[in-house]
Amino acid sequence: MAAAAAEPGARAWLGNASLRPGSPASSPKLGGGGRARLGPGSGLERAGARPPGPATSGHSFRKVTLTKPTFCHLCSDFIWGLAGFLCDVCNFMSHEKCLKHVKAPCASLAPSLVHVPVAHCFGSRGLYRRKFCAVCRKSLEAPALRCEVCELHVHPDCVPFACSDCRQCHRDGHRDHGAHHHHWREGNLPSGARCEVCRKACGSSDVLAGVRCEWCGVQAHSVCSAALASECAFGRLRTMVLPPACVRLLSRNFSKMHCFRIPESAAPEPGEGDDGPDASAPAGPGREALGPESGKQTLKIFDGNDSLQRNHFRVVTVPRPARSEEVLEAALRAYYIMEDPCNFELQVPPASGQAGGTGAQGKAWSGGTAEEEGGRGAGSCEAMPEAWIIRAVSHTQEVLKIYPAWLKVGVAHVSVRVTPQSTARTVVLEVLPMLGRQAEGPESFQLVEVLMGSRQVQRMVLEDKEPLLDRLRDIRQPVFAAGLVSMSHVYSLQVVLDVACFAEAERLYMLVRDTAVHGQPLTALVLPDVLPKKLPPDCCPLLVFVNPKSGGLKGRELLCSFRKLLNPHQVFELTNGGPLPGFHVFSQVPCFRVLVCGGDGTVGWVLTALEEMRHRLACPEPSVAILPLGTGNDLGRVLRWGAGYSGEDPFSVLLSVDEADTVLMDRWTILLDAHQASGADGVANVEPPKVVQMSNYCGIGIDAELSLDFHQAREEEPRKFTSRFHNKGVYVRVGLQKISHSRGLHREIRLQVEQQEVELPSIEGLIFINIPSWGSGADLWGSDSDSRFEKPRMDDGLLEVVGVTGVMHMGQVQGGLRSGIRIAQGSYFRVTLHKATPVQVDGEPWVQAPGHMIISAAGPKVHMLRKAKPKPRKAGTPKDARADGGPAPEGDPN
């Protein structure tokens, strides 16, 4: 049985719990739990919750006179006349005729409907045009916040009151939770969205109306959604999505930002915490501190010890002087707590260093005016405190709500009274008959405490003899079972640890994050377990890698889109740990595909990691697709993925990956062995040999020199390189600076092909090509037939060697006026460098010291996905018609 207690401080008096069968060693299924507040809120049918009917939606409707054009939030039609019905709490507006059909729960009821609370992952502020806040239902005119995992949009001030109803993307325990159900999210649908039931328009750009399943993309009117089957089949992307039932992550107190490996740089700015936007200073935009001569005063209000520790507070303005009852009511309103003020009190924060201590208590405000509590007038030696903590008044009895979690019973929850003698075991014994489970023994159930916030949901299994009344009074002292740390896998520069103790896992995570080796900070990631036996037979999940720094810096938006279209656990940001963590998570998946979003260098990086991990994978040869984000994108051009990403619908991109054909491509190994060089002190400097992998081409000389100049310019001012057009302009500029450059490369290098010396013509650049595209789509080899060489293919086990005479020649090749100088074709090459020479492999340049370069085949060929040619549409077939007949997802205009 899982007990979900309310948050500390003000809500410590109210408990919510859920009944859960399971062993003490397993992680709990979350019970509903929430903050006891009556404030703005939204959400149509919370995940795992029973939708409230018209009589139980909890709204406080009143008839209002309309003074401007207004639309109904249920049917999205215009409200004709001068009267409408408005909820005083959540701003839900309705026709009179629609009142009986309203199912969206009010904020006073929504938290209690969440049976599986999942915190949101809010990113940084951004402008979201024609979107509406899911809490206050108003338009997002100013910069707002968006969940990185679901389609929840909120104002910064509304974040503390957003219900924890994000998508449940993994199992947080060992129990199978049965069928997967739709996860409905209200509003913010595309303007052309059509209802799956009645086929009429269900989207609106005027109000928060309509619903959409955040797994399968099905869209409907809120009334029509009741006619749909409750089970979700994941829609058109069902074979590519990693089902939540197949992912296990015992996250406990790790935030969802940690679980989904979202860097903290994407988190909101300071002051946007769970407890409100005024977390760092009492004076904000439009708010000025009031001096002693003013008739009003400002006070900092903290919501319990956790709020105090993080310095997250809200500011209230009260008259000077003000009675304690007035200040208390203002403090409760600041946190949207509309309960009886007699159940709360204000306390002065304890001395510094005691906020988190056991039993730390400050002076309670019992009555009288503010001036009487803090001192008697301006001449008093003790000034009135400027900060207060909301706390619950202790009672000899409290009410605890028990939620049945996944037990199939006829009630959402039951309420029991707890006394000083009540323990977790006695509550279980009392609740089982109320849920019709009196025939089962209490040893099969657990009580789990759940602390439910808008950004993080924390939970802990309670011991059988745990006094519940004391637990409610001291809610923030979790106790974890001891465990062990074991090293499960060791990779190149990366280690995977299995941690059985949750407290130890948190400690190690923070320790690694604060550790640096050779001046470089370590990266700590929380990785889930994928359960291959739970995968459906036809499931071939897609492993997505995104490099947000590639090309036009469009990867950040793609990261958010793919996290919403797929399971966030299958989307990895390459700048946060590289590709190895992703391959480790998928190491036991018998069949999967890979999508790499980045430039040619990023694709090479992932393919190199795949080669390193191949012998550890249950699927040793996954097919790899490309979403080109770089500047040249030559491999993406050859595989028909285009010259570069230009804002296509991510859903359409995933459909193209699903329909792509598999082709083979050679991979090549380049061994770089530099000669010994004597330093200034006469001591030999030996540069160790290194090995790099090549997919596209390797350039020596002038083309590598241009790439090196571009790379250095981008490193100096990365913010300027935000578009492919600008990047190509920089290439042109550095090329013009080298147009008269001549170094006679043919005199500085020697080339052997298949151990045969090859005489080089007068050239400035030597290029080994594996694919028929170079320098942003140019055909360097040319299309003319030549009896000396075979027709080039990227899977023939041969490389073509081409020379260029300078920048002018390179420009003519890229313009289609000439081709390169054909020199050789083979499978084994040895290049001797007599001087330090610029070298580039797949767009990654450096200066190579004098020595040898040996190029040879790199083992098995890699499986790449080539985009299928578009099929001709029949007359009368609507554009982008979907095979499953489902509606377009968010962002698809059709």
Mean pLDDT of the chain: 77
Residue 162 has pLDDT above 80, yes or no: yes
Residue with token string 């939606």: 57
Q: Amino acid identity, residue 590? A: P
Write down the pLDDT at residue 707. Answer: 86
Residue 724 has pLDDT above 80, yes or no: no
Strand pairing class (661-665; 387-392): unpaired
Positive/negative CA dihedral, 744, 747, 752, 757: positive
| Per-residue DSSP letter, 231 | B
List strand residue ranges (DSSP E) for 591-696, in order. 593-598, 623-628, 661-665, 668-674, 677-678, 684-685, 690-694
User: Please, which pLDDT band fits residue 103 given cuts at 50, 70 and 90?
Assistant: confident
Write down the pLDDT at residue 654. Answer: 95
Dist CA 894 CA 892 (whole Å): 5
Write down the pLDDT at residue 490. Answer: 60
* pLDDT tens column, 217-253: 999 998 899 899 989 999 999 999 999 999 988 776 6
User: Please, which pLDDT band fits residue 32 given cuts at 50, 70 and 90?
Assistant: very low
Peptide bond into 321 cis (omega under 30): yes
Q: In what helix (H) or strand (E) does residue 697 lie, and over which residues does it extend?
A: strand 697-701
Expressed in angstroms, the distance from the first to the final Cα of the chain is: 46
Write down the pLDDT at residue 723. Answer: 66
Residue 374 has pLDDT above 90, yes or no: no
User: Please, which pLDDT band fits residue 486 given cuts at 50, 70 and 90?
Assistant: low
Residue 210 has pLDDT above 50, yes or no: yes
Which letter, b or e, does each residue of 144-173 get, where b requires 16 or more Cβ atoms within 10 Å of its Cβ? bbbbbbbbbbbbbbbbbbbbbbbbbbbbbb
The mean pLDDT of 17-33, rounded to a whole number, is 36
Token reading at 215: 């797994």
199 versus 109: the higher-pLDDT residue is 199
* pLDDT tens column, 385-429: 788 888 777 777 888 878 777 676 767 678 888 888 888 888 888
The mean pLDDT of 106-114, rounded to a whole number, is 75
* Alpha-helix residue ranges (DSSP H) falling in 738-875: 807-814
Which range of 66-75, 549-558, 733-742, 885-894 scores highest in mean pLDDT? It is 66-75
* pLDDT tens column, 591-623: 999 999 998 889 999 999 998 888 889 998 999
Dist CA 731 CA 773 (whole Å): 17
Dist CA 248 CA 453 (whole Å): 22
* Contacts by residues 306-311 (CB-CB < 8 Å, ≥ 24 positions apart): 306/7, 306/8, 306/9, 306/476, 307/9, 307/274, 307/275, 307/389, 308/349, 308/355, 308/389, 309/355, 309/356, 310/273, 310/275, 310/279, 311/279, 311/280
